[in-house]
Structure 1
Amino acid sequence: MASTTSPGTRPPGGADLGRPFRWLWASAAASNAGDGITRTLLPLLVVAHHPDPAAVAGLTAVNMLPWLLFALPAGVLVDRADRRLVVLGSNAVRAAALAGAVLVLAQDRPLALLYALAFVLGIAETLADTAAPAMLPRLVGERQLERANGRLSAAQIVLGDMAGPPLAGLLAGLAAAAALAVGGGLYALAALLLLGLAPLPRAAGTPRPVRGGGVLTDIREGVGFVLRHRVLRRTLAASGLYGLVFSATFSMLVLLSDRTLGLSGTGYGLLLAAGSVGAVVGSWLAPRAADRLPAVRLARWSLVASGLAYAALGAAPGPVLAALILAANGVFMMGWNIPVVSLRQRLTPEDLQGRVMSVARLCSWGSMPLGALLGGLLAELLSVRAVFVVCGAVLAVGALLLLAPLRDGDRVTPIDQRPTDQSPTDLPDKG
């Protein structure tokens, strides 16, 4: 049976997560770098040939649309198929799409083709980002989930948010085809690295579910599991609130930087970098805090602290303090995200991992377009600073209302039945 050991008895910080996890981490690192390049490059290509704000906004909408259309069906596929092959195939599709774009876009860059590329990449991302976290409970021990999620988050931030965008800008300055080729090569590398990870066996003692219904039946089963589970239901509601607040404030951050703090484009980039640095630090601190605190308590107070940080950012008198607040908020974001994702993985049965992850993504990502509209409306009615103060206060109060009823004892239930002599880190490996 999966361990239900108390928080203070997790493995020490230097515990090895095993070779299967290292294969997954290496693959995720390569795909994160590819994400950073393509997400930066595609808007640059649109702006260079179609300098219309509506065209740029349309690209973002098309890229995010698969999360609204396919998140729940993606969860069904992830639970029915080999999750390793889903991630591998998604990376292979992205590599092929970018390779084809190198050839097709060499002569011309029609807007429809750029939109089609963004849509295909969005579908592949929806599948890969649903399947990868669903794989994790089979790769590492239950008590190591926070540490594994922290390392994956650090790779995403460093390579996807910090290294990828400037590299894309540099490559785009040389040749757009080179940037597309590098992005495609990174996705191809991510697919190849997953070949080092052997097919994942089902957890011992867990029967393969009988699929008597269709996709809608499976979706209802996954959504119903979440709605019936008190901890999942409340933490997913909090995730939706956080997505709303994050999108509302992030959409106005450039205006706060320019009009209120008086920063140049470089200064705005440094503000974003400060938040990323804080998130990297948080990805290191959060698993260590989880060694000493129950996940529910750590997540709750991290989310409250994040709300207070947003409110303080709106009141910051100068850029230096604003950068420090953003760095602190990066730590708080990881203090929420890592334990709550780990908790979600821990509470979900093996055969529902994909569907629960897809519902979680739909809650958090689905609220973001509404959050962006809300941020713009509040800025028009009140002020840019007020967006941060109001949204931060709403997040802090909402986190208390949603998560205070949860108790530390709600933290853990077995994720599956495993024989006591089998460690998840002993899964077969082709390394």
Structure 2
Amino acid sequence: MFLIRNARRLPRICHDAGSIRTLFISPGEEMPTLTMTDLINKFYEILGTSKQFSMTGSDRQKLMDLLPRDRNELPARRMKDSYESAVIPITSNSDLRDRYINSHGTVRIGRLFEDLDIFAGHCCYRHILNPKSQGMPNPYSCVTALVDSIQFKSNTISTAEDIRLSGHVSWVGRSSLEISILVDQKNDKGSWKPITEALFVFVARDPMNQGAAFVNPLVGDTEEEKKFILEGEERNKKRRVTAAESLSNKPPNAEEIEIVHKLFSGLHEHVLGNQAIVLQPGVQRMSDWELNTLLLCHPQYRNRFNKIFGGFIMRQAYEIAHSTVYLYSKAKPKIVHIDDILFRKPVEIGSLIRFNASVGYVENKHIHIPVVAEVLKPETNERSVTNVFQFTFLSQAETPPAVILPESYLEAMRYLDARRHFKESGQLVTKR
């Protein structure tokens, strides 16, 4: 009952695009009573799954017949239908506060990533309305496909105030959904201060997570709503173009080739024979700045579909990226922007997952860190990439960090890819 009542009371159109860019619906001034723990419990109710771990998982095969065979079977939905607002009550729950606090007395960013992933999934299920499954467990498996971007408005998240998450579905395709999220917190004057804006992309799958499933179309009643939804469509087109133009599919352009040549010729002193290259002061080899960590994925890190929770993987990737920058810049860094977190394939319980972080690109005081997560199979020596992350940090050191130098073709491609990601988000980060 709360979900319906809350959705009717809180949402209102946000006309001030300068204050909340990501959301069409403003969260208002009220603090929600729905907590993130409530949302997690809601998942079990919606999906009809058990909270207890089972090696076989829940039997969802029988739900296949509840999926629509045609998208026309699904009613159109509006942004207000998926809108939600929830709180992380760190001020009233000391145990919860201990989980969120870091060594500097502020909130752990990695924990927030876990909540963002949960919240985005919840908005997906609020959007989906399937007449065939009314009163039955939801047959959809909504999984994270991509984190388009996470922009940090504030780098200091206090543990002295509760944290609010608000969001809604902002665009849908045939089986994909974009979710816009705002994270804010009250300042010392009692006003809401934006902390983070995020765009997630989820895909709807069948109960066994083996194929795509149709989702309800998203419509707008006003020209303003239609324009906002159209912006989501433009973002989706841009994502496709960016993927097609990636260095994995096309060679670097002439400008990028020249950049690498000038970088190599200008940052080291050439020597004759087989002697080692002597670097100029203020230059570091890329190969010297790679950090790895290996984790065994236990059942406690699982999601509702008996796979490893995407938010947990995001947290681990962020923390190794943060550690890499900390070591490189010799000062505590600030996270500025995250983009293009790709979820290529699910990670199974019991997997060995390795996170590889490296310094990919440095410009002024900004340091871009790509992180690759790959699953290792010791029995066959196979490894497969499951996730790719892109993090941009701002060094807090008094002196600018060293310039990074790639020395192989692979490192040069890593450098150029990191540079592309940094430049793409440059309008956001260079204002800081």
TM-score (norm 1): 0.27
Q: Which has the higher strand share?
A: 2
- Tell which has more relative contact order, 1 or 2 (C-alpha 8 A, sep 6+): 1
Q: Which has the larger radius of gyration?
A: 2
Q: Which has the higher helix share?
A: 1
